[in-house]
Structure 1
Amino acid sequence: MDSSVSEGGTGPLIGLTTYRERAQSLVWDTDFALLHQAYVDLVVAAGGTAVLLPPQPASAPHVLQRLDGLVLTGGADIEPSRYGQASGPRTGAPRRDRDEWELALAHAALDLKLPVLGVCRGLQMVNVALGGTLEQHVPDRVGHAGHQPAPGQFGRTDVRIKASSRLAALVGEQVTVHCYHHQSVAVLAPALRAVGIADDGTIEAVESPEEPFLFAVQWHPEQDPNDRRLFQGLVDAARRRMTDA
Protein backbone atom coordinates (compact mmCIF):
# COMPACT_ATOMS: atom_id res chain seq x y z
CA MET A 1 0.00 0.00 0.00
CA ASP A 2 1.54 3.36 -0.96
CA SER A 3 1.88 6.30 1.39
CA SER A 4 -0.89 8.30 -0.27
CA VAL A 5 -3.36 5.51 0.55
CA SER A 6 -2.16 4.82 4.10
CA GLU A 7 -2.42 8.50 5.05
CA GLY A 8 -6.16 8.53 4.34
CA GLY A 9 -8.22 11.14 2.53
CA THR A 10 -11.55 12.86 2.46
CA GLY A 11 -13.77 9.93 1.49
CA PRO A 12 -16.92 8.77 3.28
CA LEU A 13 -16.61 8.52 7.07
CA ILE A 14 -16.73 4.83 8.00
CA GLY A 15 -17.14 3.97 11.67
CA LEU A 16 -15.25 0.93 13.00
CA THR A 17 -16.28 -0.51 16.36
CA THR A 18 -13.45 -1.09 18.85
CA TYR A 19 -13.16 -2.91 22.14
CA ARG A 20 -11.78 -2.17 25.58
CA GLU A 21 -8.75 -4.31 26.34
CA ARG A 22 -5.88 -4.37 28.81
CA ALA A 23 -2.69 -3.81 26.85
CA GLN A 24 0.87 -2.52 26.99
CA SER A 25 2.30 0.32 24.92
CA LEU A 26 5.59 2.07 25.60
CA VAL A 27 5.65 2.58 29.41
CA TRP A 28 1.90 2.07 29.83
CA ASP A 29 0.02 -1.02 31.03
CA THR A 30 -3.60 0.07 31.07
CA ASP A 31 -7.00 -0.20 29.32
CA PHE A 32 -7.03 0.76 25.64
CA ALA A 33 -9.72 1.13 22.99
CA LEU A 34 -8.29 -1.29 20.43
CA LEU A 35 -8.80 -2.51 16.88
CA HIS A 36 -6.62 -4.37 14.39
CA GLN A 37 -4.99 -1.88 12.02
CA ALA A 38 -5.99 -4.09 9.07
CA TYR A 39 -9.58 -2.77 9.26
CA VAL A 40 -8.39 0.82 9.00
CA ASP A 41 -6.06 -0.01 6.12
CA LEU A 42 -8.80 -1.59 4.02
CA VAL A 43 -11.28 1.24 4.63
CA VAL A 44 -8.64 3.75 3.53
CA ALA A 45 -7.58 1.61 0.55
CA ALA A 46 -11.23 1.56 -0.57
CA GLY A 47 -11.37 5.36 -0.51
CA GLY A 48 -12.98 5.88 2.88
CA THR A 49 -11.90 7.67 6.05
CA ALA A 50 -11.83 5.42 9.12
CA VAL A 51 -13.33 6.61 12.43
CA LEU A 52 -12.77 4.45 15.54
CA LEU A 53 -15.81 3.94 17.79
CA PRO A 54 -15.08 2.90 21.39
CA PRO A 55 -18.04 1.66 23.49
CA GLN A 56 -20.36 4.49 24.58
CA PRO A 57 -23.91 3.10 24.23
CA ALA A 58 -25.93 6.25 24.86
CA SER A 59 -24.18 8.02 21.99
CA ALA A 60 -25.11 5.63 19.16
CA PRO A 61 -27.74 7.71 17.30
CA HIS A 62 -25.73 10.92 17.80
CA VAL A 63 -22.53 9.34 16.45
CA LEU A 64 -24.10 7.65 13.44
CA GLN A 65 -25.75 10.83 12.23
CA ARG A 66 -22.23 12.07 11.49
CA LEU A 67 -21.05 8.92 9.70
CA ASP A 68 -21.60 7.55 6.21
CA GLY A 69 -21.13 3.83 6.90
CA LEU A 70 -20.48 1.34 9.71
CA VAL A 71 -18.36 -1.76 10.20
CA LEU A 72 -19.28 -4.00 13.13
CA THR A 73 -15.90 -5.64 13.70
CA GLY A 74 -14.79 -9.01 15.06
CA GLY A 75 -14.06 -9.84 18.68
CA ALA A 76 -15.29 -11.64 21.78
CA ASP A 77 -18.44 -13.76 22.17
CA ILE A 78 -21.78 -12.00 22.58
CA GLU A 79 -23.39 -12.63 25.96
CA PRO A 80 -25.96 -15.44 25.38
CA SER A 81 -28.61 -13.72 27.49
CA ARG A 82 -28.87 -11.23 24.60
CA TYR A 83 -30.49 -14.01 22.54
CA GLY A 84 -32.32 -15.83 25.33
CA GLN A 85 -29.82 -18.54 26.27
CA ALA A 86 -27.67 -19.45 29.24
CA SER A 87 -23.92 -19.33 28.74
CA GLY A 88 -22.38 -22.62 27.61
CA PRO A 89 -19.08 -24.04 28.92
CA ARG A 90 -17.09 -22.87 25.85
CA THR A 91 -18.54 -19.36 25.68
CA GLY A 92 -16.21 -16.54 26.66
CA ALA A 93 -16.67 -14.03 29.45
CA PRO A 94 -19.19 -11.31 28.61
CA ARG A 95 -18.15 -7.91 27.28
CA ARG A 96 -21.36 -6.15 28.27
CA ASP A 97 -20.22 -2.64 27.39
CA ARG A 98 -19.41 -3.69 23.84
CA ASP A 99 -22.58 -5.76 23.45
CA GLU A 100 -24.75 -2.83 24.52
CA TRP A 101 -22.84 -0.40 22.30
CA GLU A 102 -23.00 -2.52 19.16
CA LEU A 103 -26.64 -3.45 19.61
CA ALA A 104 -27.43 0.26 19.88
CA LEU A 105 -25.31 1.00 16.80
CA ALA A 106 -26.95 -1.77 14.78
CA HIS A 107 -30.46 -0.53 15.53
CA ALA A 108 -29.56 3.12 14.94
CA ALA A 109 -27.80 2.28 11.65
CA LEU A 110 -30.86 0.43 10.39
CA ASP A 111 -33.11 3.34 11.36
CA LEU A 112 -30.85 5.70 9.41
CA LYS A 113 -30.49 3.33 6.41
CA LEU A 114 -26.73 3.54 6.90
CA PRO A 115 -24.58 1.07 4.91
CA VAL A 116 -23.43 -1.68 7.29
CA LEU A 117 -20.80 -4.41 7.01
CA GLY A 118 -20.59 -7.02 9.78
CA VAL A 119 -17.38 -9.01 10.26
CA CYS A 120 -17.33 -12.27 12.27
CA ARG A 121 -18.77 -11.13 15.63
CA GLY A 122 -20.36 -8.38 13.55
CA LEU A 123 -22.44 -10.94 11.64
CA GLN A 124 -23.52 -12.47 14.93
CA MET A 125 -24.40 -9.04 16.32
CA VAL A 126 -26.53 -8.19 13.28
CA ASN A 127 -28.36 -11.50 13.65
CA VAL A 128 -28.96 -11.02 17.37
CA ALA A 129 -30.04 -7.39 16.92
CA LEU A 130 -32.66 -8.52 14.41
CA GLY A 131 -34.02 -11.34 16.58
CA GLY A 132 -31.86 -14.36 15.69
CA THR A 133 -29.87 -16.72 17.92
CA LEU A 134 -26.36 -18.16 17.94
CA GLU A 135 -24.75 -21.59 18.07
CA GLN A 136 -22.36 -21.27 21.00
CA HIS A 137 -19.71 -23.81 19.94
CA VAL A 138 -19.60 -24.85 16.29
CA PRO A 139 -17.20 -27.82 16.79
CA ASP A 140 -19.89 -29.60 18.81
CA ARG A 141 -21.97 -29.80 15.62
CA VAL A 142 -19.39 -30.12 12.85
CA GLY A 143 -16.86 -32.33 14.66
CA HIS A 144 -13.80 -30.25 13.81
CA ALA A 145 -12.07 -26.99 14.74
CA GLY A 146 -11.34 -25.86 11.19
CA HIS A 147 -13.03 -22.50 11.61
CA GLN A 148 -10.66 -21.66 14.50
CA PRO A 149 -7.72 -24.10 14.45
CA ALA A 150 -5.74 -22.62 17.36
CA PRO A 151 -5.40 -19.39 19.36
CA GLY A 152 -4.24 -16.67 16.99
CA GLN A 153 -4.38 -18.96 13.94
CA PHE A 154 -6.89 -18.36 11.15
CA GLY A 155 -8.54 -21.27 9.39
CA ARG A 156 -9.04 -21.39 5.62
CA THR A 157 -12.67 -22.03 4.70
CA ASP A 158 -14.34 -22.55 1.33
CA VAL A 159 -17.67 -20.74 1.09
CA ARG A 160 -20.34 -21.14 -1.57
CA ILE A 161 -22.22 -17.90 -2.32
CA LYS A 162 -25.76 -18.07 -3.68
CA ALA A 163 -25.73 -16.98 -7.31
CA SER A 164 -28.91 -14.96 -6.90
CA SER A 165 -27.52 -12.89 -4.02
CA ARG A 166 -26.21 -9.36 -4.05
CA LEU A 167 -23.12 -10.65 -2.24
CA ALA A 168 -22.28 -12.83 -5.24
CA ALA A 169 -22.21 -9.69 -7.37
CA LEU A 170 -19.49 -8.36 -5.05
CA VAL A 171 -17.30 -11.42 -4.40
CA GLY A 172 -18.40 -14.17 -6.81
CA GLU A 173 -20.01 -17.54 -6.16
CA GLN A 174 -17.05 -19.28 -4.50
CA VAL A 175 -14.51 -17.81 -2.07
CA THR A 176 -11.77 -19.20 0.15
CA VAL A 177 -11.52 -17.05 3.24
CA HIS A 178 -9.78 -16.51 6.58
CA CYS A 179 -11.97 -17.67 9.47
CA TYR A 180 -11.53 -17.36 13.21
CA HIS A 181 -14.75 -18.22 15.02
CA HIS A 182 -16.20 -20.93 17.23
CA GLN A 183 -19.73 -19.54 17.18
CA SER A 184 -22.16 -18.96 14.32
CA VAL A 185 -25.78 -18.34 13.41
CA ALA A 186 -28.26 -20.87 14.83
CA VAL A 187 -31.70 -19.37 14.13
CA LEU A 188 -31.45 -16.78 11.38
CA ALA A 189 -33.24 -13.48 11.99
CA PRO A 190 -36.36 -13.16 9.80
CA ALA A 191 -35.07 -10.01 8.09
CA LEU A 192 -31.88 -11.73 6.90
CA ARG A 193 -31.09 -14.17 4.13
CA ALA A 194 -28.31 -16.78 4.40
CA VAL A 195 -26.27 -16.40 1.21
CA GLY A 196 -22.91 -17.97 2.05
CA ILE A 197 -22.52 -21.54 3.35
CA ALA A 198 -19.39 -23.52 4.28
CA ASP A 199 -19.04 -27.18 3.29
CA ASP A 200 -20.05 -28.24 6.83
CA GLY A 201 -23.29 -26.26 6.67
CA THR A 202 -22.14 -23.28 8.75
CA ILE A 203 -23.70 -19.98 7.69
CA GLU A 204 -20.78 -17.80 6.61
CA ALA A 205 -22.58 -14.83 5.04
CA VAL A 206 -25.94 -13.07 5.27
CA GLU A 207 -27.58 -10.09 3.64
CA SER A 208 -30.80 -8.15 3.92
CA PRO A 209 -32.95 -7.90 0.79
CA GLU A 210 -34.73 -4.90 2.29
CA GLU A 211 -31.79 -2.67 3.24
CA PRO A 212 -29.72 -0.60 0.78
CA PHE A 213 -26.47 -2.18 2.00
CA LEU A 214 -26.46 -4.69 4.85
CA PHE A 215 -23.96 -7.51 4.41
CA ALA A 216 -22.34 -9.58 7.14
CA VAL A 217 -19.73 -12.32 6.85
CA GLN A 218 -18.50 -14.82 9.41
CA TRP A 219 -14.98 -14.67 7.96
CA HIS A 220 -12.33 -11.94 8.28
CA PRO A 221 -12.00 -10.03 4.97
CA GLU A 222 -9.63 -7.54 6.59
CA GLN A 223 -7.00 -10.30 6.74
CA ASP A 224 -6.55 -10.29 2.97
CA PRO A 225 -5.12 -6.90 1.94
CA ASN A 226 -5.27 -7.92 -1.71
CA ASP A 227 -9.05 -8.36 -1.69
CA ARG A 228 -10.93 -5.24 -0.66
CA ARG A 229 -14.18 -6.01 -2.48
CA LEU A 230 -16.41 -6.01 0.61
CA PHE A 231 -14.89 -2.82 1.99
CA GLN A 232 -15.03 -1.26 -1.47
CA GLY A 233 -18.71 -2.14 -1.68
CA LEU A 234 -19.33 -0.49 1.68
CA VAL A 235 -17.44 2.69 0.81
CA ASP A 236 -19.14 2.92 -2.59
CA ALA A 237 -22.56 2.53 -0.93
CA ALA A 238 -21.64 5.22 1.60
CA ARG A 239 -20.58 7.54 -1.22
CA ARG A 240 -23.87 6.96 -3.04
CA ARG A 241 -25.77 7.76 0.14
CA MET A 242 -23.81 11.01 0.48
CA THR A 243 -24.65 11.95 -3.10
CA ASP A 244 -28.36 11.16 -2.67
CA ALA A 245 -28.69 13.09 0.60
Structure 2
Amino acid sequence: MVSRPIIGICASVEPVSYGAWNEPAAFVPAVYPEAVRDGGGLALLISPDERYVVDPDEVLDLFDGIILAGGTDVDPGSYGAARDPRVVTTDPSRDAYEISLTRRALERDMPLLAICRGMQVLNVACGGTLVQHLPDSLGHDDHRRVLGSWPGNEHDVRLDAGSAAARLAGETLHRTFSHHHQAVDRLGAGLVVTGTAPADGLPEAIELPDRTLAVGVQWHPEVDPDSAVVATFVAEVAALKAAATR
Protein backbone atom coordinates (compact mmCIF):
# COMPACT_ATOMS: atom_id res chain seq x y z
CA MET A 1 0.00 0.00 0.00
CA VAL A 2 1.33 3.44 -0.93
CA SER A 3 1.64 5.66 2.13
CA ARG A 4 1.92 8.93 0.23
CA PRO A 5 -1.27 10.52 -1.09
CA ILE A 6 -1.75 9.57 -4.73
CA ILE A 7 -2.71 12.60 -6.81
CA GLY A 8 -4.03 12.17 -10.34
CA ILE A 9 -3.21 14.98 -12.77
CA CYS A 10 -5.35 15.22 -15.90
CA ALA A 11 -3.16 15.22 -19.01
CA SER A 12 -3.84 16.45 -22.52
CA VAL A 13 -2.67 15.12 -25.87
CA GLU A 14 -0.26 17.64 -27.39
CA PRO A 15 2.41 17.61 -30.14
CA VAL A 16 5.71 17.10 -28.32
CA SER A 17 9.28 17.14 -29.65
CA TYR A 18 11.94 14.91 -28.08
CA GLY A 19 15.12 13.55 -29.59
CA ALA A 20 14.42 12.84 -33.25
CA TRP A 21 10.66 12.65 -32.70
CA ASN A 22 7.77 15.05 -33.03
CA GLU A 23 4.50 13.31 -32.26
CA PRO A 24 1.39 13.49 -30.06
CA ALA A 25 2.01 12.69 -26.41
CA ALA A 26 -0.02 12.54 -23.21
CA PHE A 27 1.41 15.61 -21.54
CA VAL A 28 1.46 17.90 -18.54
CA PRO A 29 4.25 20.38 -17.77
CA ALA A 30 6.74 18.82 -15.36
CA VAL A 31 6.09 21.53 -12.75
CA TYR A 32 2.76 19.87 -11.84
CA PRO A 33 4.12 16.46 -10.74
CA GLU A 34 7.17 18.19 -9.26
CA ALA A 35 4.95 20.41 -7.09
CA VAL A 36 2.99 17.36 -5.92
CA ARG A 37 6.23 15.47 -5.18
CA ASP A 38 7.69 18.44 -3.31
CA GLY A 39 4.50 18.58 -1.26
CA GLY A 40 4.92 14.94 -0.22
CA GLY A 41 2.59 13.30 -2.71
CA LEU A 42 2.87 10.73 -5.49
CA ALA A 43 1.75 12.19 -8.84
CA LEU A 44 0.33 10.00 -11.61
CA LEU A 45 -0.89 11.26 -14.96
CA ILE A 46 -4.42 10.54 -16.12
CA SER A 47 -4.19 10.11 -19.88
CA PRO A 48 -7.31 11.00 -21.89
CA ASP A 49 -9.69 8.09 -22.39
CA GLU A 50 -13.22 8.33 -23.75
CA ARG A 51 -14.27 5.52 -21.39
CA TYR A 52 -13.88 7.94 -18.46
CA VAL A 53 -16.92 9.81 -19.79
CA VAL A 54 -19.05 6.70 -19.24
CA ASP A 55 -17.26 5.21 -16.20
CA PRO A 56 -15.18 7.81 -14.34
CA ASP A 57 -14.98 5.59 -11.24
CA GLU A 58 -12.70 3.23 -13.13
CA VAL A 59 -9.86 5.74 -12.85
CA LEU A 60 -10.96 7.78 -9.82
CA ASP A 61 -10.73 4.63 -7.67
CA LEU A 62 -6.94 4.79 -8.12
CA PHE A 63 -6.46 8.19 -6.51
CA ASP A 64 -6.75 10.08 -3.24
CA GLY A 65 -7.13 13.47 -4.95
CA ILE A 66 -7.29 15.07 -8.39
CA ILE A 67 -5.64 18.10 -9.99
CA LEU A 68 -7.18 19.63 -13.11
CA ALA A 69 -4.25 21.25 -14.90
CA GLY A 70 -4.05 24.29 -17.15
CA GLY A 71 -4.06 24.20 -20.94
CA THR A 72 -6.08 25.20 -23.98
CA ASP A 73 -9.43 26.99 -23.89
CA VAL A 74 -12.51 25.07 -22.85
CA ASP A 75 -14.65 24.61 -25.95
CA PRO A 76 -17.74 26.88 -25.82
CA GLY A 77 -19.88 23.99 -27.00
CA SER A 78 -19.38 22.36 -23.59
CA TYR A 79 -21.50 25.11 -22.03
CA GLY A 80 -23.84 25.73 -24.96
CA ALA A 81 -22.29 28.94 -26.32
CA ALA A 82 -21.30 30.03 -29.82
CA ARG A 83 -17.56 30.28 -30.37
CA ASP A 84 -15.87 33.67 -30.14
CA PRO A 85 -13.36 34.07 -33.03
CA ARG A 86 -10.55 34.60 -30.47
CA VAL A 87 -11.10 31.03 -29.21
CA VAL A 88 -8.83 29.17 -31.61
CA THR A 89 -7.45 25.99 -30.03
CA THR A 90 -9.80 23.69 -28.12
CA ASP A 91 -9.98 19.97 -27.40
CA PRO A 92 -13.61 18.85 -26.91
CA SER A 93 -12.54 15.29 -26.10
CA ARG A 94 -10.39 16.55 -23.23
CA ASP A 95 -13.26 18.73 -22.05
CA ALA A 96 -15.61 15.74 -22.05
CA TYR A 97 -13.40 13.46 -19.96
CA GLU A 98 -12.36 16.17 -17.50
CA ILE A 99 -15.95 17.36 -16.99
CA SER A 100 -17.05 13.77 -16.37
CA LEU A 101 -14.22 13.13 -13.89
CA THR A 102 -14.94 16.43 -12.14
CA ARG A 103 -18.65 15.76 -11.71
CA ARG A 104 -18.04 12.30 -10.33
CA ALA A 105 -15.20 13.45 -8.06
CA LEU A 106 -17.55 16.04 -6.58
CA GLU A 107 -20.27 13.41 -6.10
CA ARG A 108 -17.73 11.25 -4.26
CA ASP A 109 -16.49 14.24 -2.24
CA MET A 110 -13.00 13.56 -3.56
CA PRO A 111 -10.40 16.30 -2.95
CA LEU A 112 -9.98 18.38 -6.09
CA LEU A 113 -7.70 21.29 -6.98
CA ALA A 114 -8.52 22.97 -10.29
CA ILE A 115 -5.82 25.23 -11.75
CA CYS A 116 -6.43 27.94 -14.41
CA ARG A 117 -8.21 26.06 -17.23
CA GLY A 118 -9.07 23.55 -14.51
CA MET A 119 -11.02 26.20 -12.59
CA GLN A 120 -12.96 26.91 -15.77
CA VAL A 121 -13.66 23.19 -16.21
CA LEU A 122 -14.90 23.05 -12.61
CA ASN A 123 -17.28 25.92 -13.27
CA VAL A 124 -18.59 24.36 -16.49
CA ALA A 125 -18.96 20.95 -14.81
CA CYS A 126 -21.26 22.63 -12.28
CA GLY A 127 -23.36 24.21 -15.04
CA GLY A 128 -21.61 27.58 -15.31
CA THR A 129 -20.38 29.52 -18.34
CA LEU A 130 -17.21 31.38 -19.29
CA VAL A 131 -16.15 34.78 -20.59
CA GLN A 132 -14.43 33.77 -23.81
CA HIS A 133 -12.10 36.76 -24.25
CA LEU A 134 -11.44 38.94 -21.22
CA PRO A 135 -10.06 42.06 -22.94
CA ASP A 136 -13.48 42.56 -24.55
CA SER A 137 -15.22 42.74 -21.18
CA LEU A 138 -12.47 44.23 -19.02
CA GLY A 139 -10.83 46.60 -21.49
CA HIS A 140 -7.33 45.36 -20.62
CA ASP A 141 -5.14 42.26 -20.88
CA ASP A 142 -3.57 42.35 -17.41
CA HIS A 143 -4.38 38.68 -16.80
CA ARG A 144 -2.14 37.64 -19.70
CA ARG A 145 0.15 40.58 -20.48
CA VAL A 146 3.04 38.53 -21.88
CA LEU A 147 2.15 35.45 -23.93
CA GLY A 148 4.13 32.35 -22.97
CA SER A 149 5.81 33.88 -19.92
CA TRP A 150 5.41 33.85 -16.15
CA PRO A 151 7.57 36.93 -15.42
CA GLY A 152 5.51 39.96 -16.35
CA ASN A 153 2.22 38.22 -15.56
CA GLU A 154 2.15 38.70 -11.79
CA HIS A 155 -0.72 40.26 -9.89
CA ASP A 156 -2.28 40.01 -6.45
CA VAL A 157 -5.43 38.09 -5.56
CA ARG A 158 -7.53 38.83 -2.49
CA LEU A 159 -8.92 35.68 -0.83
CA ASP A 160 -11.82 35.54 1.61
CA ALA A 161 -10.74 34.91 5.19
CA GLY A 162 -11.82 31.46 6.29
CA SER A 163 -12.14 30.12 2.74
CA ALA A 164 -10.49 26.92 1.56
CA ALA A 165 -8.54 28.97 -1.01
CA ALA A 166 -7.08 31.19 1.72
CA ARG A 167 -6.26 28.10 3.77
CA LEU A 168 -4.35 26.56 0.87
CA ALA A 169 -2.51 29.81 0.14
CA GLY A 170 -1.83 30.51 3.81
CA GLU A 171 -2.80 34.17 3.41
CA THR A 172 -5.61 36.41 2.20
CA LEU A 173 -3.50 38.58 -0.13
CA HIS A 174 -1.63 36.26 -2.44
CA ARG A 175 0.78 37.10 -5.26
CA THR A 176 -0.02 35.03 -8.33
CA PHE A 177 1.32 34.15 -11.75
CA SER A 178 -1.53 34.57 -14.22
CA HIS A 179 -1.86 33.46 -17.85
CA HIS A 180 -5.43 33.32 -19.14
CA HIS A 181 -7.80 35.19 -21.45
CA GLN A 182 -10.95 33.39 -20.30
CA ALA A 183 -12.68 33.40 -16.93
CA VAL A 184 -15.80 32.52 -14.98
CA ASP A 185 -18.95 34.23 -16.25
CA ARG A 186 -22.14 32.68 -14.82
CA LEU A 187 -21.20 30.75 -11.70
CA GLY A 188 -22.01 27.05 -11.59
CA ALA A 189 -24.47 25.56 -9.12
CA GLY A 190 -23.20 25.36 -5.55
CA LEU A 191 -20.00 27.28 -6.25
CA VAL A 192 -19.03 30.45 -4.44
CA VAL A 193 -16.39 33.01 -5.41
CA THR A 194 -13.80 33.22 -2.62
CA GLY A 195 -11.06 35.17 -4.39
CA THR A 196 -10.97 38.17 -6.69
CA ALA A 197 -8.45 40.39 -8.43
CA PRO A 198 -8.44 43.71 -6.51
CA ALA A 199 -7.89 45.71 -9.69
CA ASP A 200 -11.01 44.57 -11.57
CA GLY A 201 -13.00 42.20 -9.35
CA LEU A 202 -12.49 39.20 -11.66
CA PRO A 203 -13.19 35.85 -9.93
CA GLU A 204 -9.85 34.26 -9.11
CA ALA A 205 -10.89 31.46 -6.73
CA ILE A 206 -14.07 29.40 -6.54
CA GLU A 207 -15.03 26.53 -4.28
CA LEU A 208 -17.85 24.26 -3.19
CA PRO A 209 -18.38 24.92 0.53
CA ASP A 210 -20.45 21.76 0.96
CA ARG A 211 -17.51 19.56 -0.11
CA THR A 212 -14.53 18.64 2.01
CA LEU A 213 -12.02 20.15 -0.43
CA ALA A 214 -12.99 21.33 -3.91
CA VAL A 215 -11.19 24.52 -4.94
CA GLY A 216 -10.47 26.24 -8.25
CA VAL A 217 -7.75 28.88 -8.63
CA GLN A 218 -7.41 30.97 -11.78
CA TRP A 219 -3.64 31.36 -11.39
CA HIS A 220 -0.69 28.93 -11.57
CA PRO A 221 0.61 28.06 -8.09
CA GLU A 222 2.61 25.13 -9.45
CA VAL A 223 5.16 27.50 -11.08
CA ASP A 224 5.60 29.67 -7.96
CA PRO A 225 8.14 28.35 -5.43
CA ASP A 226 6.74 30.80 -2.86
CA SER A 227 3.16 29.53 -3.17
CA ALA A 228 1.92 26.99 -0.62
CA VAL A 229 -1.24 26.09 -2.55
CA VAL A 230 -0.22 22.74 -4.06
CA ALA A 231 1.78 21.59 -1.03
CA THR A 232 -1.07 22.41 1.34
CA PHE A 233 -3.55 20.63 -0.93
CA VAL A 234 -1.35 17.52 -0.88
CA ALA A 235 -0.96 17.76 2.90
CA GLU A 236 -4.72 17.99 3.40
CA VAL A 237 -5.27 15.00 1.10
CA ALA A 238 -2.66 13.08 3.13
CA ALA A 239 -4.49 13.92 6.36
CA LEU A 240 -7.81 12.78 4.90
CA LYS A 241 -6.22 9.55 3.68
CA ALA A 242 -4.68 8.87 7.10
CA ALA A 243 -7.99 9.54 8.85
CA ALA A 244 -9.82 7.15 6.51
CA THR A 245 -7.42 4.30 7.31
CA ARG A 246 -7.61 4.58 11.10
Deviates most, 25-34 or 162-171: 162-171
Q: Structure 2 CA distance, aligned partners of 1:72 and 1:201?
A: 24
Q: Structure 1 CA distance, aligned partners of 2:126 and 2:172?
A: 26
- Tell me: CA distance 1:170–1:30, structure 2 relative to 1, closer, same or farther (3 Å): closer
Gaps of at least 5 residues in structure 1 are: 1-8
Letter in 2 for 1:200: D
Query: 1:60-209 to 2 correspondence within 5 Å?
Result: 60-154=56-150, 155-171=153-169, 172-198=171-197, 199-209=199-209
Matched, 1:16 2:9: yes
Structure 1 counterpart SS, 2:66: strand
Q: CA deviation at 1:240?
A: 2.7
8 A contact 2:4–2:40 mirrored in 1: yes
Q: Structure 2 CA distance, aligned partners of 1:163 and 1:222?
A: 22
Structure 1 counterpart SS, 2:157: strand
Deviates most, 66-75 or 156-165: 156-165
Structure 2 counterpart SS, 1:109: helix
1:39 to 29, 32, 36: 32
Structure 2 counterpart SS, 1:20: strand
Give every structure 1 segment of 4 or more consecutive aligned residues whose post-TM-superposition deviation is greater than 6 Å.
none
Q: Structure 1 CA distance, aligned partners of 2:23 and 2:70?
A: 22
Q: Structure 2 CA distance, aligned partners of 1:135 and 1:66?
A: 34
1:58 to 51, 62, 65: 51
Give deviations 1:173-211, integer Å, cap 9, x for gaps: 101100000000001112111011012121111111100
Structure 2 counterpart SS, 1:40: helix
8 A contact 2:164–2:213 mirrored in 1: no
8 A contact 2:11–2:47 mirrored in 1: yes
Q: Structure 1 CA distance, aligned partners of 2:194 and 2:238?
A: 25
CA RMSD of the aligned region, Å?
1.4
Gaps of at least 5 residues in structure 2 are: none
Letter in 2 for 1:126: L
Structure 2 counterpart SS, 1:157: strand
Deviates most, 57-66 or 79-88: 57-66
Letter in 2 for 1:26: G
Letter in 1 for 2:195: G
8 A contact 1:76–1:92 mirrored in 2: no
Q: Taking every aligned residue pair, what percent have the same amino acid on both sides?
A: 36
Q: Structure 2 CA distance, aligned partners of 1:69 and 1:103?
A: 15
Letter in 2 for 1:190: A
Q: CA deviation at 1:10?
A: 4.6
